[in-house]
Amino acid sequence: MGPVQLADTRRDVVLRLLEMLREAHGRKADLVVFPELALTTFFPRYWMSQEEAQARYFETGMPGPDTQPLFDEACKLGIGFYLGYAELTPGGQPYNASILVDKTGGIVGKYRKIHLPGHDDHKLDAPFQHLEKKYFNVGDKTFGVWDTLGARIGMCLCNDRRWPETWRVMALQSAEVVVLGYNTPSLNIHWPEPVHLRMHHHLVTLQASAYQNCVWAAAAAKCGSENGHHMIGGSVIVAPTGEIVAQASTEGDEVIMVNADLSLGDTFRKHVFDFARHRRPEHYALIVDR
């Protein structure tokens, strides 16, 4: 998905999401993966008060008036979707959240981002901020897997994909597919990182994680330049073999698709990564204890 500018309304964005949903349906897709924080610009790049952020960029209801058309169309077309958005709970708690919606337009799963990158202070000399630690709580439940749309589907969000624990917790729940959205700035504000490394780390992470956990991975970027702030593209679908089977080539609204054979993960689960036979959790305590 291409950029969302500060001036773009949720209505503008939902019209774009509807277009992509219809194109995916036309290509016989069962599930569409939209990006993280898909309804607005990536606002954690800006310093503002919690109150202002919540008033401008958070959803107090899902579906809400602006997103209801997406649920209605999905139900009419008989197609499910993953959507990332900023959630403000009825109790006033803010999360970077995602939902899994089935072919009846019902929300079957909810996830709240666990690995929040960046900082919570105002970095005055930085070209932009990355304030997820300021605007969001850490997710309140672990990575989940849901039986829907004919598969066991796990969800995560953006930075979560960089942490091996994310994938293993879902694989230990027998996930067959992991879906995620992301917003990844091209520029690293902490050290002079060559731009090509952003894409390399994004892809190598997904390829290794899909292979090591015997899952299909589908990652959807919000990318391109948002009010002059560029984010990498590279939306991709990776097979359990670790091979990239589809990758976006633009930084605009673009649908990539694969007819995923879920049994492709079986041989890896039966042999190389037969967790029951080969894993030795008695030696892994440091991962949880530290």
How far apart, in whole angstroms, are the C-alpha atoms of residue 1 and residue 24? 13
**Cβ closer to ligand ING: 98 or 184?**
184
**Cβ closer to ligand ING: 181 or 265?**
181
Active site annotation includes 36 = yes
Per-residue binding string, ligand ING, 173-202, x by CB under 6 A, is ---------xxx------------------
Out of 113, 132, 134, 176, the active site residue is 113
Q: Which of residues 50-109 bind ligand ING (CB under 6 A)?
A: none
Name residue, tokens 């304030």.
131
**Cβ closer to ligand ING: 76 or 200?**
200
Binding residue for ligand ING (CB under 6 A) from 40, 98, 148, 159?
A: 159
Q: What contacts 24+ positions apart, CB below 8 Å, involve 196-203?
A: 198/232, 199/232, 199/234, 201/162, 202/161, 202/232, 202/234, 203/234, 203/236, 203/244
Please report, to the nearest 10 degrees, the dihedral formed by the alpha carbons of residues 56, 59, 65, 70 taken in order: 120
Among the listed ranges 22-30, 104-112, 158-166, 261-269, the one in contact with ligand ING (CB under 6 A) is 158-166
How far apart, in whole angstroms, are the C-alpha atoms of residue 8 and residue 4? 6
Which of helix, strand or coil describes residue 156? strand
Active site annotation includes 156 = no
Name residue, tokens 């994004």.
202
| End-to-end Cα, the chain, rounded Å | 37
Binding residue for ligand ING (CB under 6 A) from 103, 110, 119, 162?
A: 162
Per CB under 6 A, does 230 bind ligand ING? no
Please list, residue by residue across 191-211, b when 16 or more beta carbons sit within 10 angstroms of its beta carbon and e when fewer do. eeeeeeebeeebbebbbebbb
Number of residues counted as binding ligand ING (CB under 6 A) = 7
Active site annotation includes 110 = no
Among the listed ranges 47-55, 156-164, 165-173, 216-224, the one in contact with ligand ING (CB under 6 A) is 156-164
Per CB under 6 A, does 220 bind ligand ING? no
Q: Which of residues 106-125 bind ligand ING (CB under 6 A)?
A: 117
Query: Burial level of 256, CB count in 10 A (0-12/13-18/19+)?
Result: middle
The radius of gyration of the chain's CA atoms, rounded to the nearest angstrom, is 18
Q: Which two tokens stand for residue 32?
A: 């569409």
Out of 158, 176, 214, 223, the active site residue is 158
**Cβ closer to ligand ING: 54 or 68?**
54
Active site residue ranges: 36, 113, 158
Q: Could you list the residues that contact ligand ING (CB under 6 A)?
A: 117, 158-159, 162, 182-184
